[in-house]
Structure 1
Amino acid sequence: MYNQPSYAPPAGMGRTLTMDDVVMKGFIVLGTLMASAGVAWIMEVPMGIAVVALIAALILGLVITFKQSTNPALILAYAVLEGVALAGISLIFAARFGNGLVLQAIVGTMMAVLGVLAVYALNIFRPTPKFAKFVIGAAIGAIGLILVNMLVGIWVPGGLGLRSGGALAIVFSAAMILLGMFFLLLDFDEINHAVQAGAPERTSWLLVFGLMLSIVWIYLEVLRLLSYFSGDD
């Protein structure tokens, strides 16, 4: 993804992709994610189940990504698992900082998504191949820093301080939110290119899967950033 592959459909592959297809699949996939998260939230899903769902979602997400699968069953299954995992994570933050924090994170995520959509729709900025390489490189570097922070945290409390709630943690989470918004910008651009290139209609499932990953990324980082400004009482 994000390298603008050839979307030209082989002969006899049925109708081509339209923006309506992406919007419809977006409602289905994101609706499934939110419904799953909502049910798990109401049922106060046990942390053990949330962890299992998170691991299963990670494995399934890697399968979908590396196979570039357009199978709707796999993508909807991922949405369900991710919804349960997000509910479990959100419950942890809510137990410590109050339910209001989760609502603020949801609103903040929606504002971020709408902001990026406006930037792209109004043609304020359009990603270039160089920009895409920068974003992917930054993501690899960020993931590497997170892993190092976790490793150092085994011996040093707080690790490098990337998630400890201090000034560095605030800056890092803000950067991660910005990076997630950059990925969202790439997602919108990829959707536009796929529609213009006449990609097969089934491609809409994979495109919406990419959108879902970016939105989940933004939500988790917004949730974490807001927690740094909330009291523990």
Structure 2
Amino acid sequence: MRSRNPVFSRRGFSRDNGYAGFNTAPQAGGPAVGTQGNPYAQGNPYAQPSGNPYAQNPYAPQDLYGAPPQAPVTTAGRMTMDDVVVRTATTLGVLVLTAALSWALLPVDEATIGRSYGIGIGAALVAMVLAFVQAFKRRPAPALILSYAALEGVFLGVVSSIVDTHFASGAAMQAVLGTMAVFAAVLVAYKAGWIRVNRRFYGFVMAAALGFVLLMTVNLLFAVFGGGDGLGLRSGALGVFFGVVGVILGACFLALDFKQVEDGVAYGAPREEAWLAAFGLTMTLVWIYFEFLRLVAILNSND
């Protein structure tokens, strides 16, 4: 059963004794032999006997359990890489647009910074709720995903404006360039085979991310009730260290996202699944951008 956490949930990764089934070849073109060829079959209640999780999809590659042999196979309703690119670009476009509008329309001078920051935090909380709702849904909801992106953009626009104005001029652009560099590097490394997304990789990333989030939550609670920076994990040398760890974890999640997209295309996922891929990629890129922004702010505050 996949995780319901919108940060950790990655649709298409099934669980087998706590790990996902990776590095397997699609079986959609012929009869399945056991379940070893299907990364979705291990412990997946939705897996089909053919070895293809989308076998009931009329657009998926058919096998002995699918359409009659004489029926032509169509790709009209199957997810393609172009679908993922278009949906991801749309989602990120909405996020960037609302970020730019909030930057321009919500001033962060000394007199208005509190109000603007409150609006940003409110948008972030609503975006989190929408992310959880989508994580619980069995099917993607484009309106929900785009609303999440819009609200997340408001939050990032306000926070970026604050950091750029009060901590480091040009911080937002540096964070954008850093995020783009990580995305390009992980994509090249993944396509070149330098990153192997297998069960061990998945287990390590999920365990490390869970520990990271729990540690940051404890630090936040200490900050709320004790004042200051809590345990000091988000400032100074420790802040830089954990910022780098956060970026590395984001890069690892990008590799998981790429694997999800690759498997979805290979198994003939329905076209609507491209929205889930866009949702996952957007959340991961937001994670990486925010960690870069925090790093720039910490490094400049130490100057």
**TM-score interval (norm. to shorter):** over 0.9
Distance 2:158 2:97 in 1: 14
Distance 1:17 1:174 in 2: 34
- Residue 148 of structure 2 aligns with which residue? 78
Shift of the 68–34 alpha-carbon distance from structure 1 to 2, 3 Å rule, reads farther
Residue 10 of structure 1: how far off its partner (Å) = 2.2
Counterpart amino acid of 1:19? Answer: M
Counterpart amino acid of 2:56? Answer: P
Given candidates 189, 212, 227, the residue that maps to 1:119 is: 189
- Residue 134 of structure 1 aligns with which residue? 204
- Residue 92 of structure 1 aligns with which residue? 162
Given candidates 15, 22, 42, the residue that maps to 2:104 is: 42
- 1:202 maps onto 2:264 in alignment: no
Residue 151 of structure 1: how far off its partner (Å) = 2.2
- Residue 223 of structure 1 aligns with which residue? 293
TM-score norm. by structure 1 comes to: 0.92
Deviates more, 1:151-160 or 1:110-119: 151-160
> Are 1:32 and 1:79, in contact at CA under 8 Å, matched by a contact in 2?
yes
Distance 1:156 1:31 in 2: 37
Given candidates 132, 144, 150, the residue that maps to 2:220 is: 150
Count the aligned residue pairs. Answer: 232
- 1:24 maps onto 2:24 in alignment: no
Structure 1 runs (4+) deviating above 6 angstroms are: none
Given candidates 50, 54, 57, the residue that maps to 1:8 is: 54
Distance 2:139 2:179 in 1: 27
Residue 12 of structure 1: how far off its partner (Å) = 4.0
- Residue 131 of structure 2 aligns with which residue? 61
Residues 70-100 of structure 1: CA deviation (Å, up to 9, x unaligned): 1111111111111111111112212212431
CA RMSD, 1 decimal? 1.9
In structure 2, list runs of 5 or more residues that go unmatched: 1-9, 15-39, 41-46, 48-52, 60-75, 108-115
Distance 1:57 1:139 in 2: 20
Counterpart of 1:158 in 2: which secondary structure? Answer: coil
Residue 157 of structure 1: how far off its partner (Å) = 3.6
Higher relative contact order (CA 8 A, sep 6+): 1
Shift of the 156–47 alpha-carbon distance from structure 1 to 2, 3 Å rule, reads closer
Distance 2:159 2:56 in 1: 42
Distance 1:224 1:211 in 2: 20
Deviates more, 1:217-226 or 1:93-102: 93-102
Identity %: 38
Counterpart of 1:228 in 2: which secondary structure? Answer: helix
Distance 1:32 1:156 in 2: 35
Residues 19-72 of structure 1: CA deviation (Å, up to 9, x unaligned): 111111111111111111111112126223212211110000011112244111
Counterpart amino acid of 2:191? Answer: A
Counterpart of 1:70 in 2: which secondary structure? Answer: coil
Counterpart amino acid of 1:229? Answer: L
Shift of the 178–68 alpha-carbon distance from structure 1 to 2, 3 Å rule, reads farther
Distance 1:201 1:172 in 2: 38
Shift of the 68–87 alpha-carbon distance from structure 1 to 2, 3 Å rule, reads farther
Computing the radius of gyration from Cα coordinates, the structure with the larger value is 2
Shift of the 32–157 alpha-carbon distance from structure 1 to 2, 3 Å rule, reads closer
- 1:101 maps onto 2:171 in alignment: yes
Shift of the 197–12 alpha-carbon distance from structure 1 to 2, 3 Å rule, reads closer
> Are 1:70 and 1:203, in contact at CA under 8 Å, matched by a contact in 2?
yes
TM-score norm. by structure 2 comes to: 0.72
